[in-house]
Amino acid sequence: MPRPRAASRSGDAVISNAELARIFNEIGDMLEIMGEVVYKAVAYRRVADAVERYPDDVAALFRRGEPPKLPGAGAALTAKLAELAETGRLAYHEKLRAQVPDGVLELLRVPGVGPRTARTLHETLGIDSLDALRSAAETGGLRHVKGLSERTEQNILEGITRISQRTTRLLIHDADALIADLVGRLREVRGVHRIEPAGSLRRRRPTIGDLDLLAAVDDPAAVIAALDDLPEVERVLSAGTDKSSIVLRDGPQVDLMVCTPAAWGTHLVHFTGNADHNIALRGMALDRGWSLSEKGFKVIDDGSLLLDAEEADVYERLGLPWIAPELRRGDGEVEAALAGKLPALVTRDDVRGDTHTHSDWTDGVDTIEVMARAARDLGHEYIVLTDHSPSLGTTRGLTPDRVDQQGAEIARLNAELAPFRILHGTELEIRADASLDYPDEMLARFDVVIASIHTGRNQSPEQLTRRALAAIEHPHVDVLAHPSGRIVNTRDPLPLDWPRLFEAAARTGTALEINGSPRLDLDDSLARAAGRAGARLTVASDAHRTEELTQQHYAVDLARRAWLEPDQVLATRTADELLELLA
C-alpha cells in the first residue's frame, strides 16, 4: 500500500499489532507536541499498549468483522483502528503528520527528550531538527530554558551521540538517490575527468555500509574541498591529499578517493571488488612478478610501476576478461573468468516488460492507464497488472465482479495503447490453509497469475513450505511473488525449504520473482541457487505508483548478482513469448 516510509514501500498489506501500536503512540506524541489536552494523548497510548499486548492479529480480527474488546478503546478510537485495519492508513494520523514538523518528531529519538520537552524546545528556541538541537546543546543554549538544566544539556548531547552511532546499513534505493546527487555536483568541479561510485554500491549490494566515490582529477585538493564544503556535510572525518571521509547529515559516511586519469583502472578495480576478489587478483599478479595495488602493478624486480587507465586493461594483464562489478565477490567469478565461463549477465536493456504492478483498483495510487503510459515511457512493451485478490482485506482485493470490470477496462486501454499491452494478472493470495484465493475456473481467465504469501507468517517451516509448494505446483500459477517474504532491514525471510521449492519450480516452470521494491526478494544468493537448480526467475517492480516502476532496476541488479542470463528471466520475453511459455 502507498505509505511514505522506505521500510514499508513494500506493497505488503498486513498491518501488524506493532505497527498499529506505533501509529497510535505517534499520534499521542504529536497531540502532546501540539499542546492538546493530556488525556487525549493518554487515551491513544493506552490503546496502543493494549494492541501491542493483544495475543491475536488485531487488524485481521477487524477485517473478519470480529473487532476485539480493547481496554480504553471507545467508539472513536475503535473506528480509527478499523480504518487502519481496512486500509492500512489513517487520515487523522496523516493530518497530524502534516502539522508537526518531521524534525520535531525526530527529537523524540533522543533518550530523555519526550513530547513535552520537544514542544518546549520548538516553541522557545525554534529547534526543529537533531542538528539544531545538537548545536543548541553544544553552545549552552538549553540550560536557561525553563524546565531544563546544564545536566539535561549534557544528557541530550550524549543521547544524540548514541543514536548517531546506531548502525543500520543503508538500503541501496536510498544510497542511489544520495550518490546521484553528490556525483552530479562533484562532476561539475573543475579538473574532474571521471567520477564513479565504487565499493558495495557499484557491486549493487542490497545494503550499503558507506558510500565510496572515486574521482580521476587534475587537482585533488579542489574536489576534496568541494566535497567538504557541501552544505549537507555534517562532519569531516579525515581529509588527506588523495582521500577524504565525511559524514552526511542524517546520512551515511562518504569516502572519496582521488587518482590521476592514468591510474583510474587499478584504482577502480581496487575500490570495487570485495576483499576476496581483490586478494585473488593480487595473488595472480604476484604469480607474474607484480605487486598489485590501487596505484598500479609494481614490477617486483625493478620497482617500476605499470599504470592502467581502464579496468579492462587491469584484467587483461592478468589474463582475464573484464568481470562485471556485481560478480566481484570472490565466490567463483575469477575461476569462471579463467575458464571462459562467465555468464552473459542480463541487463536492463534486455527487459521488455514488468511482471508485477498495481493500480488504484486495489492498493496502488495511480490508475491503470497512468501506470501503463508510464511503463511505456520507460521503454516497456507490456506490464502485467497484478492487483490483489480479496482475502488480503487491507488492499480492497478484487471480487470476481471487479475482476471482470477490470478486464473490460484493460481491453479498452489495450485498444488505445497498442502495440503496448497490459496483461491481465492477479496477485493471488496463498491462504493460511494453502488454498488459493480464486477458484480454478477464474484463475484460468487471467493472462498471468502471480501468487504470494502475506498472512499466516508465523506457521512452521513445514506449513509455510507446503503453502509455497501448493502455489508452485498449481497449473494456473505462473510466478511465486517475493518468495521469501523478507523486507530489507525490516522483516526476516520465511524459513522455507528452498531446495524443495527450487526443484518444484524447475519441474513445473513456475517462475520465482526477484522483487525490486525494498523487499529485494529473492535475494542474490537464493536467486543464484534457484538459477543453478534450473528454475526460471523474473524481475519485477511491484510498483504501486508510477515512480516505483524503476524499482525493477534493483531486481535486475540482483539478477546480475545471481549470475543470471537473459533467457533465465521471464521479463526479457515479449508479451507473446511470455504467454506462450506460460500456456
Where along the sequence are the contacts to ligand DGT (CB under 6 A)? 198-200, 205, 208-210, 212, 270-274, 278
Residue 238 beta carbon to ligand DGT: minimum distance, rounded to whole angstroms? 12
Cα separation of 96 and 32, whole Å?
A: 11
Contact 539, 554 (CB under 8 A): no
Report how far residue 166's alpha carbon sits from residue 34's, in angstroms, rounded to the nearest whole number: 29
Indicate whether 521 belongs to the interface with Zn ion (CB under 5 A): no
Supply 552's cell numbers: 525493477
Each residue 385-424 as x (binds Zn ion by CB under 5 A) or -, in order, gives: ----------------------------------------
**Distance, CA of 175 to CA of 168 (rounded, Å):** 13
- In 263-396, at which residue ranges do the beta strands (DSSP E only) sit? 290-293, 296-299, 305-306, 353-357, 382-388
Residues 6-25 that bind Zn ion (CB under 5 A): 11
Find out whether 177 and 6 touch, Cβ atoms under 8 Å.
no
**Residue 212 contacts Ca ion per CB under 5 A:** yes
Q: Taking CB under 5 A as the rule, does residue 427 contact Zn ion?
A: yes
**Which residues in the 241-260 window bind Ca ion by CB under 5 A?**
255
- Residue 146's Cβ-side half-sphere holds a number of Cα atoms within 13 Å equal to 5
* Residue 369 near which of Ca ion, ligand DGT, Zn ion, none (CB within 5-8 Å, type-dependent): none
Q: Which is nearer to Ca ion, 275 or 339 (CB)?
A: 275
Select the binding partner of residue 380 from Ca ion, ligand DGT, Zn ion, none (C-beta < 5 to 8 A, by kind). Answer: none
In sequence order, the 6+-apart residues with CB closer than 8 A to the CB of 358 are 11, 364, 371, 385, 386, 387, 388, 427, 542, 543, 544
Tell the burial category of 306 from Cβ atoms under 10 Å away from its Cβ (0-12, 13-18, 19+).
middle
* Cα–Cα distance list, 226 to 43, 97, 229 (Å): 51, 36, 5
Min separation Cβ 316 and ligand DGT, Å = 20
Specify whether the CB–CB gap between 425 and 385 falls below 8 A. Answer: yes
With CB under 5 to 8 Å by kind, the binding choice for 427 among Ca ion, ligand DGT, Zn ion, none is Zn ion
For the record, the C-alpha cell of 156 comes out as 541530550
The CB-of-294 to ligand DGT minimum distance in angstroms stands at 7
CB 539 within 8 A of CB 551: no
Output the smallest distance, CB 559 to Zn ion, in A. Answer: 18
Minimal CA–CA distance to 127: which of 148, 151, 105, 149?
Answer: 105
Task: Select from Zn ion, Ca ion, ligand DGT, none the partner in contact with residue 270, using the beta carbon and a kind-dependent cut-off of 5 to 8 Å.
Answer: ligand DGT
542 binds, among Ca ion, Zn ion, ligand DGT, none (CB under 5 to 8 A by kind): Zn ion
Of 199, 113, 99, 193, the C-alpha closest to 152 is 113
The item of ligand DGT, Zn ion, Ca ion, none sharing an interface with residue 44, based on CB under 5 to 8 Å by kind, is: none
Three cell numbers, residue 345 = 549477465
Grid cell 526543529 — which residue? 128
What is the nearest approach in angstroms of ligand DGT to the Cβ of residue 180? Answer: 17
Q: Can residue 199 be called a binding residue for Ca ion (CB under 5 A)? A: yes
13 vs 442 by CB, closer to Zn ion:
13
72 Rama sector, left if φ>0, alpha if ψ -120 to 50, beta otherwise: left
Residue 272 binds: one of Ca ion, Zn ion, ligand DGT, none (C-beta under 5 to 8 A by kind): ligand DGT
Interface with Ca ion by CB under 5 A: which range of 68-76, 139-147, 207-215, 421-429? 207-215
For residue 523, state whether it binds Ca ion (rule: CB under 5 A): no
Give the integer Cα–Cα distance in Å for 3 and 9: 6
- The smaller minimum CB distance to Zn ion, of residues 145 and 481, is found at 481
State the minimum distance, in angstroms, from the CB of residue 379 to Ca ion: 31
Distance CA 178, CA 250 (A): 12
Between 210 and 369, CB nearer to Ca ion: 210
Instruction: Tell me which stretch binds Ca ion (CB under 5 A): 173-181, 182-190, 202-210, 347-355.
Output: 202-210
Query: Is 128 a residue that touches Zn ion (CB under 5 A)?
Result: no
Nearer to ligand DGT, 268 or 582 (CB): 268
Q: Among candidates 485, 518, 350, 571, which has minimal Cα distance to 3?
A: 518
How near is the Cβ of 555 to Zn ion at its closest, in Å?
13
CA dihedral 230, 235, 237, 241 (to 10 degrees): 30
Whether the ω angle into residue 2 lies within 30 degrees of 0, i.e. cis, is no
Residue in the shown chain whose Cβ atom is closest to Zn ion: 11
β-pairing, 353-357 with 305-306?
unpaired
141 touches, from Zn ion, ligand DGT, Ca ion, none (C-beta below 5 to 8 Å by class):
none
Helix and strand tally (H, E) in the chain?
24, 17
Instruction: Please count the other Cβ atoms lying within 10 Å of the Cβ belonging to residue 372.
Output: 26
Q: Find the shortest distance in angstroms from Cβ 564 to Ca ion.
A: 24
Residues in the chain: 583
For residue 450, what is the enclosing H or E element?
strand 448-452
- 178-181: which pairs have CB atoms within 8 A and are 24 or more residues apart? 178/211, 178/248, 178/251, 178/252, 179/211, 179/213
Hey, is 106 helix, strand or coil? Answer: helix
Residue 197 is a binding residue for Ca ion (CB under 5 A): no
Binder of Ca ion out of 86, 131, 210, 503 (CB under 5 A):
210
The entry of Zn ion, Ca ion, ligand DGT, none that residue 182 binds, CB within 5 to 8 Å by partner kind: none
Q: Write each residue from 102 to 131 as x if it is in contact with Ca ion (CB under 5 A), else as -, in one continuous string.
A: ------------------------------
Q: Which does residue 271 touch among Ca ion, Zn ion, ligand DGT, none (CB within 5 to 8 A, set by kind)?
A: ligand DGT
| Interaction mask 524-563, Zn ion, x per CB under 5 A | ------------------x---------------------
Q: Which is nearer to ligand DGT, 171 or 436 (CB)?
A: 171
Picked from ligand DGT, Zn ion, Ca ion, none, the partner binding residue 11 (CB below 5 to 8 A depending on kind) is Zn ion
Question: Which residues contribute to the site for Zn ion (CB under 5 A)?
Answer: 11, 427, 542
Question: Which residues contribute to the site for Ca ion (CB under 5 A)?
Answer: 199-200, 210, 212, 255
